[in-house]
Amino acid sequence: MTTARDLMTPGAECVGENETLVLAARKMRDLDVGALPICGEDNRLKGMLTDRDIVVKCIADGGDPTKATAGSFGQGKPVTIGADDSIEEALQTMEAHQVRRLPVIDGHDLVGMLAQADVVQAMPGRAGGTVSDISEPS
């Protein structure tokens, strides 16, 4: 059985919940990613922050990204997948929550990120359905 750990990108970096959106944006640029997990002072996952969150929910609304913190954009309980969960379960989680990226956790530790593209590459027969099911508005 292929697991999330087998396909994830290991060593995911977090943005701290008290870091500004400017620092988060720079980290995204430097890492060439469009989303970062938000981690708290206790190193536990607090949410996810996307480049779109920064632009649409802060800048477009007249917010100041030099003052707004990443933690203020982590909404609700983050959707995650266990490192030893199957790829099929990861796919079902992505579809059910309509997310393209899942933080991979082992216990309470963030160990990587699993992207829709990682799953689609591993399951080419499901690619079309996967993309449309994840992207479909609820």
pLDDT at position 129 is: 56
Structure tokens at 22: 């400017």
- Domains parsed from the chain with CATH numbers: 4-135 (3.10.580.10)
pLDDT at position 75 is: 67
pLDDT at position 97 is: 92
Binned at pLDDT 50, 70 and 90, residue 12 comes out as confident
Binned at pLDDT 50, 70 and 90, residue 44 comes out as confident
For 61-107, the pLDDT digits (tens) are 999 999 999 999 876 678 999 999 999 999 999 999 999 899 999 98
